[in-house]
Amino acid sequence: MAGGYDEMSRRSYPDYRGGPPEARARRDLLRQVMERHGFTVEPNEWWHFNYKDWQQYPILAIAFSSLRL
């Protein structure tokens, strides 16, 4: 992508038009697929998606090692 890891600048916006065309195309494809399945993108972070009613669920402090996958 155009910006560095977790960079907080205009380059991190979902609609940023700079950077390599291939990176923009992949970012836009990701957004299309996520939105098709009910997610919304954060306005300042192309990589940050929320699912529909996420605010109704509490934040949990669970270690990944305790999960049975």
Residue found under tokens 């494809």: 29
Query: What is the distance, to the nearest Å, from the Cα of residue 19 to the centroid of all Cα atoms in its chain?
Result: 17
- List the catalytic residue out of 22, 35, 42, 45: 45
Exposure of 45 by Cβ count < 10 A (0-12 exposed, 13-18 middle, 19+ buried)? Answer: middle
Q: Is 42 a catalytic residue?
A: no
Give the residue numbers annotated as catalytic, written as ranges.
45
